[in-house]
Amino acid sequence: MKKALRISFLLVAACLLLSGCVSKYKKISVSSFELKSVVPTSLRSANVVVAVGISNPAPAFQVRDIEATIKRGGEVMGVVTGEPVSVDGKCDRVYRIPLQAQLADGISLMQLLATYKSFNPEDFYLDLHARANVAGKIGKDIDYKDMPLTKFLKK
């Protein structure tokens, strides 16, 4: 009986502790976004560096499996992937995140340059996927579909 009571108490304490942490994770926000550099690596790919400001009142976590599909008018223009990023706990900080961009099949460099000439960010959308992990095990998938590119450019 004592053992069952102790286990019940530990379960309740763990649930309360986790619910307190979860509410802090919901308060994480992106405070800024800036394109720092684009370095072509071939006719179809480039290395990109972005600076992302993150306000994190929660404990540290890691973002993995970063992948974004860039679309214009429903047509996939390219795919951007990134290496895992460790986000410090309980701080506001700007992170420099290296990414790799690849043009989609069927999109030529000439099409991309023509797009640049009449660039209107309101025409572009992102499908974004990433996974946030705490302590390497507990995690949550982050998925956004058809997110306007202007949402990033206003920051």
How far is residue 134's CA from residue 137's CA, in Å, rounded to a whole number?
A: 6
Q: Which fold has domain 29-153?
A: Immunoglobulin-like (2.60.40)
Cβ proximity of 115 and 76 under 8 Å: no
- pLDDT value at residue 65: 93
Alpha helices, H only, 26-105: none
- pLDDT value at residue 16: 36
pTM: 0.76
Mean pLDDT per 10-residue section of the chain, whose length is 155 residues: 42 43 73 88 92 90 93 91 93 94 89 77 91 82 89 65
Q: Nearest CA to 148 among 44, 43, 70?
A: 70
- pLDDT value at residue 151: 79
**What are the boundaries of each domain within the chain?**
29-153
